[in-house]
Amino acid sequence: MLRTRREGAWDGKSLLSRVVFHASFDPIAMHQWGKAGAGNSLRLRAARAALAALCWASALVAAAAPAPSAAVITFSGLWNGIDPYANYPVLHRPLPSTYQPLMQAQPFTKPADGGNLGIRIEWINALCSNHGLNRNVRDHTGDTTGKNEGSNHELGGGVMFAERPCTMAFGKPVEIPSLFWTFYEPPKHPVLKNGTIAVFRSGTDTKPLKSVEVPYHDATGYVWREIAAFTGLTISKIVFDPGGQDTGLNIDDITIQVSPQSMTVQ
C-alpha cells in the first residue's frame, strides 16, 4: 500500500487533489484504506493510473524535445576553444580539420561558435585568420576580446578566407539561409572574373545548384555583405572562389540549418 499524507480533512471525494503519494509501504495506511472500503480502493487505483499516465506523458514530452536545428559558424572558436594557436606572427593558416563547430559548439566565444548538430565538415583549401593575428582583419561577428599581452594575443574576431577556390563539404545535407562575405582589400588591378559563391546538391557534383557572383567595388576592404540567395536549398557542399581578385575573399557568420533530409542520411 502506498503511504499517504493527507492535506486537510478527508472527505473521500477529491483523492488526486488531497493525497500526496510516497513510494513506500505503511501497514497503518493499509489498515486505514481497508476500513475505508472498496470505494476508496477503486479511487486509489484510479489515482495510480492517472499519475502513471501523467508520468508517461512527461517522459514522452522529454523524449520528443527537439534537437538543435540551426547554428552560426563564427570562426572564433579556433582561438577561444579547441584549436588555440601560439605562433601569432603567422598570418595565413590552413583551417585545421579538427575545427568542427557543428559537432560541438565552442562555448568560450560570445556568441557561441557553432552548435551540436552532429554534422562534420571537410575543409578544402580554406585559410583562417583573426584580428589578433592581423590588425587589418575586421570580422563581421564583432566578438574580438583583448588580453593583457597586447593586440597580437586577442581572442575572437575569426574569419575564414580564400585566396583560391576553397570548399566546405558537409557530412549531412544542410541549408544555408545566410552568410556574410567581403574582401580583405579592394582589387589591385582590373578584375577580369568576378568571385563566386556556389552551392552543390551533392558533394560529388561539379555543376552548382546555384551560384552567386560577389564583385567588390568598395574603396576599402571589409565592407561586409550578406547573401541569402541559398535559402531553402538543400546542399552538401559550398565553394568560395575569389575569381580574378586575389585580395582574399573573407567569409564569416555562416548560418547552418539542419535539412530535413539529414534525419535519414547517416
pLDDT in tens, 228-243: 999 999 999 999 999 9
Q: Which residue has the cell 520528443?
A: 64
Most confident of 36-45, 102-111, 140-149, 173-182: 173-182
Rounded Cα distance, 112 and 143, in Å: 10
Give the three-class secondary structure for 123.
strand
Domain with CATH 2.60.120 in the chain: 70-263
Q: What is the mean pLDDT of residues 243-247?
A: 88
Quickly list H helices, the chain: 15-18, 27-36, 38-63, 77-80
Better-predicted residue by pLDDT, 105 or 16: 105
Better-predicted residue by pLDDT, 169 or 8: 169
Most confident of 5-14, 48-57, 106-115, 187-196: 187-196
Geometric angle at alpha carbon 144, from 132 and 185, rounded to 5°: 60
Amino acid letter for position 186: P
Predicted local confidence at residue 135, as pLDDT? 78
Instruction: Give the domain 70-263 fold.
Output: Jelly Rolls (2.60.120)
Most confident of 110-119, 129-138, 140-149, 219-228: 219-228
Q: Which three cell numbers stand for residue 261?
A: 533530409
Nearest to 16 by CA among 40, 59, 51: 51
Predicted local confidence at residue 241, as pLDDT? 98
Distance between terminal CA atoms of the chain?
Answer: 49
In this predicted structure, the answer to whether residue 106 has a pLDDT above a threshold of 60 is yes
Q: What is the mean pLDDT of residues 236-254?
A: 95
Q: Which three cell numbers stand for residue 175?
A: 541549408
In this predicted structure, the answer to whether residue 14 has a pLDDT above a threshold of 60 is no
In this predicted structure, the answer to whether residue 166 has a pLDDT above a threshold of 60 is yes
Question: Which of 7-21, 23-37, 89-103, 190-204 shows the lowest per-residue confidence on average (mean pLDDT)?
Answer: 7-21
Predicted local confidence at residue 96, as pLDDT? 84
Q: Calculate the average pLDDT of the chain.
A: 77
In this predicted structure, the answer to whether residue 172 has a pLDDT above a threshold of 90 is yes
Residues sharing a CB contact under 8 Å with residue 119, sequence separation 6 or more, in sequence order: 102, 103, 170, 171, 172, 174, 256, 258, 262
- pLDDT > 70: percent of the chain: 64
Predicted local confidence at residue 88, as pLDDT? 42
